[in-house]
Amino acid sequence: MKVLIRSVRIIDKKSSFHDQVRDILIVDGKIAQIGDDLSAEGAEVKEGNGLCVSTGWIDMRVASRDPGFEHKEDLVSVRETAAHGGFTEIVLLPNTQPVVDSKDTLNYIRQSGLGSLVKLHVAAAVTKKTAGVDFTEMIDLHTAGAIAFTDGEHPVQNADLFLKTILYLQPLNGLLMNRPEDTQLTIFGQMHEGITSTLNGMKGMPSLAEEMMLNRDLKLLEYALDKSTLELTGQPMLHISLVSTKEAVDLIRQAKEKGLPVSCDVAAHQLAFEDKDLIDFDTNLKVNPPFRGPSDHQAIREGLLDGTIDAIVSDHNPHDEESKNLEFDHADFGITGLETVFSLAKMYSGLNVEDIVEKLTTKPRHILRLEETNIAEGSVANLTFFEPETDWTFSKTYSKSKNTPFLGQTLKGAVRGVFNNSRLEWF
């Protein structure tokens, strides 16, 4: 298979061709040549308007719903949705039925994606059934290929379980991913605790619930830290998922200044909305963590700009009509986000294109202990093609679920194609 991409701007800070416009020839899954005015007999030729290419994007937080809830999303539809969002690799949460707390379920998911355009990485559960009571067989799951450990949609509430997980994973150079939320403080909560929740007559979810739990997690990490392990790997041992408050960003910034092995991400949709946008009770805007206030919004942008926030994720969370199209306080939390991550980052983050790409490629790969990829002659082609300045209308989603507030809207920053595992898909 030969593919020739003409006049494409290369976005890869590790590449000697970074920020240059070149032709790229891909032969049998590898980058055969990078240069000007290339030609290849029988090659499939692609080009675009202001076309850019980077190494393939990776999404660190995706709910697949398969096995168990295939009517919301399955492993085929989630791969197709991810590809249209520009992702060649995604990390799936363990919140399925059965939960990914055994090697059988882990292997079922991993094998379903072997050789596909979008590679599936699987995060295994910390506790059985993500119930927060008994540990899973983490060593066996790690050996079987779990990329990280998390209870996903259920934050680890028990301090002893959290601490022992850090201790267990240290010798494995494993990664714990946790979303900080004290669920006793957010029980029955529907949106951010503030003026809008008061006006709407809804129980609020205070920022304090995130900040207290994050402070606990960072203290326990420091307590458990084996500095020789940190010096040996140089990689985060704790990844904080979905930061949403100013205080959380400040706490992570301080932790990094102290040298703690911590990283974090933010959901792309958090960049687009504030809590005041829920005044009309749009259930597509009901997410957890909830959209916060203006000061939190600004702090997230500053955290992205100064590098405190390492990655941008979709937090793709598909739900059927029966779970979303009902009264606000009965609707489930979540947005489908795989197809809009880049556009939202381009429109709302304040980052330049190179830095957005870094938070979708280099930083996630480092956090997840994945082999680096780069754009160079002889390298395996794992690529995403996109047009940062192109407007497009999000008229169709490839997800089985439609719980997104962006359908029908015109967005900036269009994905044009992905190449991985010797396969090309062009949109």
178 - beta bridge partners?
Answer: 240
> Could you say which of 37, 277, 315, 391 is catalytic?
315
> Which of 406, 118, 89, 426 lies closest to 268, judged by CA?
406
Which long-range contacts link 272-281 to residues 24+ away (Cβ below 8 Å)?
A: 272/344, 272/347, 272/348, 273/405, 275/191, 275/192, 275/194, 275/195, 275/196, 275/197, 276/195, 276/196, 278/191, 278/196, 278/200, 279/196, 279/199, 279/200, 281/200, 281/328
Q: Are strands 119-124 and 87-92 parallel, antiparallel or unpaired?
A: parallel
Calpha distance 50→29 (Å, rounded): 24
Token output for 75: 């492993």
> What separation in angstroms does the CA of 102 have from each of 90, 155, 340?
20, 19, 32
Residue 355: its H or E element: helix 353-360
Instruction: Please say whether the beta carbons of 163 and 154 come within 8 A.
Output: no
Torsion-angle region of residue 383: left (phi > 0), alpha (psi -120 to 50) or beta? beta
In the residue annotation, 315 being an active-site residue is answered as yes
Q: In the 8-state DSSP scheme, what is residue 311?
A: E
Instruction: Please say whether the beta carbons of 101 and 348 come within 8 A.
Output: no
Beta strands in 320-406 (DSSP E): 383-393
Active site residues: 315
